């Protein structure tokens, strides 16, 4: 591993002094600048699973969109393996909450899309799709259209599709937010299996605190108005987790601790628009 | 205070049944099955209703034709209309008229669709192009295309060109704006996901936005086809040597109301047939969007 010493010193994902301002108001005259992200910095190591939690409006989804390259930061930088992110690319696969499958493509075609774009030869492509469908237990649904699937299955397809081009980082934007509690639990297990098997670096946004603790190794707690990184918490559980983990006193204490953190912040800063007028 | 201390006020105690809450056989208002709001009906009931509708229409026509049988405000009988249709088919005018009109609409409307899809895709996908074209199309949309007829006759003569041009102008702005709406309805997540899968802007347009908008585009084409026929009639009424609308004007000159009815019937059937064809095309090419 001596040849990769440099690589090891550079984190997988580095978020450096990120700021994001939005212009609010439809006319140029009444436009107000609202700060969505205020000086956020943290790094994610190779193979790490990090969750970002926060109340709505804390800028967590905006942050993820900037990492993906779909949005640009007002200032600051995102680096993947030391290289700056200038736009979206297949090295950062992304899963959204809903509506992101191609409704005219079958499950297998959806998963294959990124590979087609990458011009992977057909036999190889089919092999890769088959493997991913197997992991996500979707093999028998390969020829179904998204509209014929349940919400949980659709999200499994979305995860498989994002993983297909073997991304360096998997970005998940509240992927289970629209699912019922039971489906959510099973999808969390799928995600853990994917992470343990592939070793992909995962950065996930959620507002579900127990979910964040159960899945990740570190949790970035964000507070709104403006979106700031309040704390980074190390999750005290190893790779082996199960239903018992959720009943561990440390787990329950951590849930309380983080939820208090979120509630305190939203109580002390009621609806204050920390923006500065444009004129 | 315990839970048992809380008394919930009742508007209607059990001793005095409300007249509002229900009748003698239970609570609520019973829902009819045939005329339930947004209710589904069995396929057999559905086809029965369709047949009943057609029979009703023909019955009314038959009735009206016996009441208004005199001079002036006369309505031809179904038989007379049919005979007029057969007569026109026999004397060799119906088929050339039909072809001439259909050809004008087909050419004009195809051009309109191609322009509509191209500009609709651009306007619906790019905010800058949308802003650039907004004033032009906003203005042109409200210029009645029929008002351009005299102008087109001067510019393009009295041959096929002005007729086709009218069909284009009379439909293209609706097509552009409605296709743009269909394109805007493509979910943002779908476009974002495509970018993160490595798709280029061109690939997203061609392989994501276009296929997603495709069935909607066919629906737009279906809706605006009626406007295309409207423009054709205006064009043929003013200057034509053949065509279905031209033949209606000729029939007027000879007070052949039966022929006029026969020609109107052809228009209607043509409309139903084209709508059916487009819908079949939509369902075949976009199984996923079938309702």
pLDDT of residue A218: 95
For chain A, the domains span 2-91+171-176+191-277, 98-166
Burial class (CB in 10 A: 0-12, 13-18, 19+), B133: middle
Task: Give the A-side interface with B, CB within 8 Å.
Answer: 65, 68-70, 87-90, 92-94, 96-104, 113-114, 117-118, 145-147, 158, 161-162, 164-165, 171
Query: CA A61 to CA A53: how far, in whole Å?
Result: 10
Cis check for the bond before A69: say yes or no (omega within 30 of 0): no
State the pLDDT at residue A7: 46
Q: A112 CA to chain B: closest CA distance, Å?
A: 10
At residue B24, φ and ψ (nearest 5 deg) are: -65, -30
Taking the C-alpha atoms of residue A174 and residue A208, their distance in angstroms, rounded to an integer, is 9
CB contact residues (below 8 A), chain B span 197-226, against chain A: 197-199, 203, 208, 211-212
Domain ranges of chain B: 78-286
Q: What are the structure tokens assigned to B259, written together?
A: 């022929």
Extract the residue ranges of chain B whose pLDDT is less than 70.
1-23, 291
Predicted local confidence at residue B98, as pLDDT = 95
Closest CA to A122 of A137, A142, A136, A108: A108
* pLDDT on residue A276: 41
**Distance separating alpha carbons of residues B39 and B27, to the nearest angstrom:** 21
**Residue B226's closest CA among B271, B258, B270?**
B271
Beta strand A32-44 with A276-277 is: antiparallel
Region label for A2, one of left (φ > 0), alpha (ψ between -120 and 50) or beta (otherwise) = alpha
Q: Are A113 and B204 in contact (CB under 8 A)?
A: no
Chain B residues within 8 A of A86 when measuring between CB atoms: none
Q: Which residues pair with A132 in a beta bridge?
A: none
Candidate from B198, B287, B289 with C-beta closest to A117: B198
**What CA–CA distance (Å, rounded) separates B113 from B173?**
10
Query: Least CB-CB distance to B208: which of A70, A93, A102?
Result: A102
Look-up of token digits 């829902």 = B31
Q: A27-65: per-residue pLDDT in tens?
A: 667 778 889 999 999 999 999 999 999 988 888 999 999
Say whether B79 sits in a helix, a strand or coil. Answer: helix
For the domain spanning B78-286, the CATH number is 1.10.3720.10
Mean pLDDT over the full length of chain B: 89
> One digit per residue, pLDDT tens: chain A, 279 residues?
444 444 456 799 999 999 999 888 776 677 788 899 999 999 999 999 999 999 888 889 999 999 999 999 999 999 999 999 999 999 999 999 988 999 999 999 999 999 999 999 999 999 999 999 999 999 999 999 999 999 999 999 999 999 999 999 999 999 999 899 999 999 999 999 999 998 999 999 999 999 999 999 999 999 888 888 989 999 988 888 888 898 899 999 999 999 998 887 655 544 444 444 443
Chain B residues within 8 A of A92 when measuring between CB atoms: 196
To test the contact with chain A by mutation, choose from B197, B216, B286, B288 the residue with the greatest count of A C-beta atoms within 10 A, namely B197
Cβ-defined contact of B288 to A145 (cutoff 8 Å): yes
User: The tokens 């619906």 sit on which residue?
Assistant: B124
Which residues of A are less than 8 Å from B285 in CB distance? none
In chain A, the percentage of residues whose pLDDT exceeds 90 is 70
Tell me yes or no: is domain A2-91+171-176+191-277 CATH 3.40.50.300.
yes
**What's the DSSP call for residue B28?**
S
């Amino acid at each position: 591993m001596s040849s990769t010493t440099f690589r090891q010193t550079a984190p997988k994902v580095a978020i450096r002094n990120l700021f994001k301002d939005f212009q609010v108001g439809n006319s140029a005259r009444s436009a107000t600048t609202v700060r969505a992200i205020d000086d956020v910095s943290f790094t994610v190591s190779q193979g790490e699973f990090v969750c970002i939690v926060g109340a709505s409006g804390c800028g967590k989804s905006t942050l993820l969109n900037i990492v993906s390259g779909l949005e640009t930061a007002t200032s600051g930088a995102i680096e993947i393996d030391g290289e700056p992110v200038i736009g979206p690319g297949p090295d950062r696969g992304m899963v959204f909450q809903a509506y992101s499958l191609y409704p005219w493509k079958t499950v297998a075609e959806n998963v294959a899309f990124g590979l087609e774009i990458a011009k992977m030869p057909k036999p190889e492509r089919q092999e890769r799709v088959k493997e991913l469908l197997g992991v996500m237990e979707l093999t028998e649904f390969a020829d179904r259209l998204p509209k014929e699937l349940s919400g949980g299955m659709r999200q499994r397809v979305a995860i498989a599709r994002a993983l297909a081009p073997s991304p360096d980082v998997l970005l998940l934007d509240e992927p289970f937010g629209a699912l019922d509690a039971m489906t959510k639990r099973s999808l969390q297990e799928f995600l853990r299996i994917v992470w343990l098997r592939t070793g992909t670096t995962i950065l996930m946004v959620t507002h579900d605190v127990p979910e964040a603790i159960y899945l990740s190794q570190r949790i970035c707690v964000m507070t709104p108005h403006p979106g700031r990184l309040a704390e980074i918490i190390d999750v005290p559980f190893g790779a082996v987790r199960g239903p018992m983990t959720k009943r561990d006193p440390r787990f329950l204490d951590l849930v309380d601790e983080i939820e208090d953190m979120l509630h305190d912040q939203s109580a002390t800063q009621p609806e204050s628009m920390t923006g500065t007028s444009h004129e | 205070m315990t839970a048992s201390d809380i008394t919930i006020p009742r508007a209607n105690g059990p001793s005095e049944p409300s007249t509002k809450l229900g009748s003698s056989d239970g609570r609520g208002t019973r829902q009819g099955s045939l005329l339930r709001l947004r209710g589904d009906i069995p396929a057999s009931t559905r086809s029965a209703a369709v047949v009943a509708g057609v029979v009703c229409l023909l019955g009314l026509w038959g009735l009206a034709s016996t009441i208004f049988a005199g001079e002036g405000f006369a309505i031809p009988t179904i038989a007379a209309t049919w005979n007029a249709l057969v007569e026109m088919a026999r004397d060799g005018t119906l088929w050339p008229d039909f072809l001439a009109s259909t050809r004008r609409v087909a050419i004009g409307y195809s051009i309109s669709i191609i322009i509509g899809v191209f500009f609709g895709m651009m306007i619906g996908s790019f905010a800058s192009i949308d802003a650039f074209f907004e004033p032009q199309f906003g203005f042109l949309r409200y210029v009645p295309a029929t008002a351009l007829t005299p102008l087109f006759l001067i510019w393009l003569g009295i041959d096929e060109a002005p007729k086709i041009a009218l069909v284009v102008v009379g439909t293209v702005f609706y097509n552009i704006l409605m296709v743009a709406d269909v394109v805007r309805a493509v979910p943002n997540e779908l476009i974002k996901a495509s970018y993160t899968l490595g798709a280029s802007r061109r690939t997203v347009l061609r392989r994501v936005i276009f296929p997603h908008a495709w069935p909607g585009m066919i629906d737009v084409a279906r809706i605006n086809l009626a406007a295309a026929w409207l423009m054709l009639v205006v064009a043929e009424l003013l200057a034509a040597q053949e065509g279905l609308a031209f033949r209606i004007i000729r029939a007027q000159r000879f007070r052949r109301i039966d022929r006029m009815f026969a020609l109107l019937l052809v228009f209607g059937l043509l409309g139903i047939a084209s709508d059916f064809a487009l819908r079949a095309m939509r369902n075949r090419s976009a199984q996923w969007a079938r309702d």
